[in-house]
């Protein structure tokens, strides 16, 4: 059994433990890569590289989540739904850029993927985290979107193309 201070983890066997280790590593990677992509110049090497790592992180998170959800079914079906939303959103955001779609749509899909990922984390772990443990259960579902949606809308407005300017699709 993996011992993560403050977070109870089920004794669900070595397959679950391995999936959990992968899940933690890829989750941290996806969170950091998403932040780098958000905070760097759009279309630049750092943004594109971090975006690719974020995409891979969400895919790996989804794969490890599937293993853990199957083992703990049906208690974690809500996490499967959130993981599916994150995977679908990141795939649509990636597809949008590959096909030369708008910056706004790309930002919206990637923002949704990030929000869904954080929502899943807080729904699953929030009741056991310092400070978060004092919040009502509904807050774990709503706070990531309450913070992330306005930031995503701001980013879309900030990167709205002006007349004659359109960013090229990512390589």
Over residues 49-74, the mean pLDDT reads 95
Q: Is position 169 within any domain?
A: no
Mean model confidence pLDDT for the chain: 89
Q: Is position 171 within any domain?
A: no
Q: What are the tokens at 142? A: 């709503």
pLDDT value at residue 168: 58
pLDDT value at residue 4: 57
pLDDT tens digit sequence for 67-108: 999 998 888 899 999 999 999 999 999 999 889 888 999 999
Instruction: Report the chain's C-alpha Rg in angstroms.
Output: 17
Binning pLDDT at 50, 70 and 90, where does residue 12 land? confident
Binning pLDDT at 50, 70 and 90, where does residue 42 land? confident
Q: Is position 73 within any domain?
A: yes
Long-range contacts: 10-18, Cβ < 8 Å, 24+? 10/72, 12/68, 12/71, 12/72, 13/71, 15/67, 15/71, 16/67, 16/68, 16/71, 16/72
Helix/strand/coil for 4: strand
Q: Is position 87 within any domain?
A: yes
Q: Is position 72 within any domain?
A: yes
Q: Is position 165 within any domain?
A: no
Q: Is position 3 within any domain?
A: no
Helix/strand/coil for 170: coil
Residue 63: give the domain boundaries.
14-158
Q: Name the domain count of the chain.
A: 1
Residue 1 has pLDDT above 70, yes or no: no
pLDDT tens digit sequence for 100-155: 888 999 999 999 999 999 999 999 988 988 898 899 999 999 999 999 999 999 99
Q: What are φ and ψ of residue 130, in 5° steps?
A: -55, 145
Across 6-10, 13-17, 22-26, 164-168, least confident range: 164-168
pLDDT value at residue 170: 57
What is this structure's pTM? Answer: 0.86
Q: Is position 7 within any domain?
A: no
Q: What are the tokens at 61? A: 């998170």
pLDDT value at residue 19: 94
């Amino acid at each position: 059994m993996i011992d993560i201070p403050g977070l109870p983890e089920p004794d669900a066997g070595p397959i679950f433990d391995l999936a959990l280790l992968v899940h933690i590593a890829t989750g941290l990677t996806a969170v950091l890569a998403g932040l780098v992509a958000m905070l760097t110049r759009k279309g630049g090497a750092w943004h594109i590289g971090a975006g690719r790592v974020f995409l891979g992180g969400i895919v790996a998170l989804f794969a490890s989540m599937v293993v853990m959800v199957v083992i703990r079914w049906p208690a974690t079906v809500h996490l499967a739904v959130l993981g599916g939303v994150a995977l679908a959103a990141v795939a649509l955001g990636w597809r949008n850029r590959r096909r030369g779609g708008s910056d706004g749509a790309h930002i919206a899909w990637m923002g949704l993927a990030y929000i869904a990922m954080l929502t899943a984390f807080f729904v699953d772990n929030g009741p056991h985290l310092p400070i978060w443990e004092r919040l009502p259960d509904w807050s774990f579902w709503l706070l990531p979107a309450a913070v992330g949606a306005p930031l995503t809308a701001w980013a879309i407005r900030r990167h709205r193309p002006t007349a004659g300017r359109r960013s090229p699709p990512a390589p």
